[in-house]
Amino acid sequence: MPCSAERPAALAALETELASLAGQGLQRRRRIVEGVCGPLVEVDGRTQLAFASNDYLGLAGHRDIVAAAREGAERYGIGSGASHLVSGHSRAHELLEARLAGFVGMPRALGFCTGYMANLAVIPALLGRNDAVFADRLNHASLVDAAVLSRAEHHRFPHRDLAALERQLARSEAPRKLIATDAVFSMDGDIAPLPGLLDLAQKHDAWLLVDDAHGFGVLGPQGRGTLAHFGLASPRLILMGTLGKAAGVAGAFVAAHETVIEWLLQRSRPYIFTTAAPPLLSHALLTAIDLIERGDARRAHLNALIARLRDGLNGLRWPLADSRTPIQPLIIGDNHATLAVAQALDAQGIWTPAIRPPTVPRGEARLRISLTAAHDEVQVERLVSALRALA
Ligand SMILES: *Cc1c(COP(=O)(O)O)cnc(C)c1O
């Protein structure tokens, strides 16, 4: 093969952009984790105490779920072989959808490969050009991308600001409207005012799409999620829950009125044009949902750890965000300062991710401390002491 010296100009442009990211403290790198997700992980040959996962109930490595996955592999093999509407929809997928719908108290549920895809499925299936999406400014990137993909007008309202949302809704003449919100905000840990949002949805005849990636399994009776936490039900509600966080596996679901689910099944492109997830994951998830349902002790322990962390970090130079969920962000502000704190913790064997723009607004870089039911009090105490010493 002749080696060509020709170098696309676009490559140099990318290299300049990458150097600029590095200069702003915005370059990301991936760490290679050995073994099972848990509070203690081996990274780069060292054991780290990690406050870095969304495995809120500590189920990602649970032996019963591992055993169920193995059983699922024996029963269903590995690949689904096709998309759901062709021949990839297995008994395991079907059973999981029924279990999820019952668990969250919705008429019907539809499984997706990831939460990102589920959000991309919902908004473009329900809205098009001339319609309007109303979105909390701190919503997850997948909701933002879904709104863009739908070609609807995209109104972003200030974080949790019902009055601002109401003004936007009142001004809109769009024939179809959808309000989209994270239930628990992924980088802040606070909870959306869902009862107020549902009132506005009713008043302005809009859908309310609730992304419960961080509430499912954690909030509400038996971990049924943020809608159950508030006791909300309505045919306008569309719930998206993910299964790779508290459920400890992978995938996502949308639960809603039967007609909405049937429409998504018929029409949503991220549902139709992709290979169905391995059925063994659905089979393993049936066990994960049982563990969530019977997980009151795990949730009580998790809540005790949250209280302990907040207590321990009270009055520190860097404020904790106002959060009652396992997401406990410590707001540091400057990108480089945030990285420096993360690195100082890393040197002591503690892993807390530094979250920087564009994931969070400029000037609001933070350590995203996340607690799980697999942590113990000694481990939380170790983080608290290290942070107090650094501050
Ligand atoms: C993680 C997350 C998603 C995406 O879910 P995946 O299953 O990881 O693709 C969507 N919304 C929110 C709020 C999330 O935190």
DSSP characters over 47-107: EEEE-----TTS-TT-HHHHHHHHHHHHHH-S---SBIIIII--HHHHHHHHHHHHHHT-S
The active-site residue, picked from 62, 155, 214, 301, is 214
When pLDDT is cut at 50, 70 and 90, the band that residue 24 belongs to is confident
- State yes or no: pLDDT of 314 exceeds 70: yes
State the pLDDT at residue 50: 98
CA 141 to centroid of ligand 1, rounded, Å: 9
Average pLDDT over residues 315-331: 96
Query: Ligand 1 atom 6: the closest Cα is on which residue?
Result: 115
Per-residue pLDDT tens digits for 216-263: 999 999 999 999 999 999 999 999 999 999 999 999 999 999 999 999
Cα–Cα distance for residue pair 379/81, rounded to 1 Å? 44
Q: Where are the domains of the chain?
A: 29-57+296-390, 63-293
Q: Domain 29-57+296-390, what architecture?
A: Alpha-Beta Complex (3.90)
Per-residue pLDDT tens digits for 258-272: 999 999 999 999 999
CB within 6 Å of ligand 1 — which residues?
114-116, 119, 140, 142, 182, 186, 211, 213-214, 242, 244, 252
Is the bond leading into 278 cis (omega within 30 degrees of zero)?
A: no
- State yes or no: pLDDT of 110 exceeds 70: yes
State the pLDDT at residue 36: 94
- State yes or no: pLDDT of 4 exceeds 70: no
Here the tokens at position 46 are: 């060292």
Which residue from 138, 139, 186, 239 has its CB within 8 A of the most atoms of ligand 1, so it is best to mutate? 186
214 is a catalytic site residue: yes
Task: Report the CATH number of the 63-293 domain.
Answer: 3.40.640.10
Of all residues in the chain, what percent carry a pLDDT higher than 70?
Answer: 99
- Which stretches of 94-227 are assigned E, i.e. beta strand? 108-112, 132-136, 153-157, 177-182, 206-211
87 is a catalytic site residue: no
- State yes or no: pLDDT of 383 exceeds 80: yes
Q: Do domains 29-57+296-390 and 63-293 have the same CATH topology?
A: no
Q: What is the pTM of this model?
A: 0.96
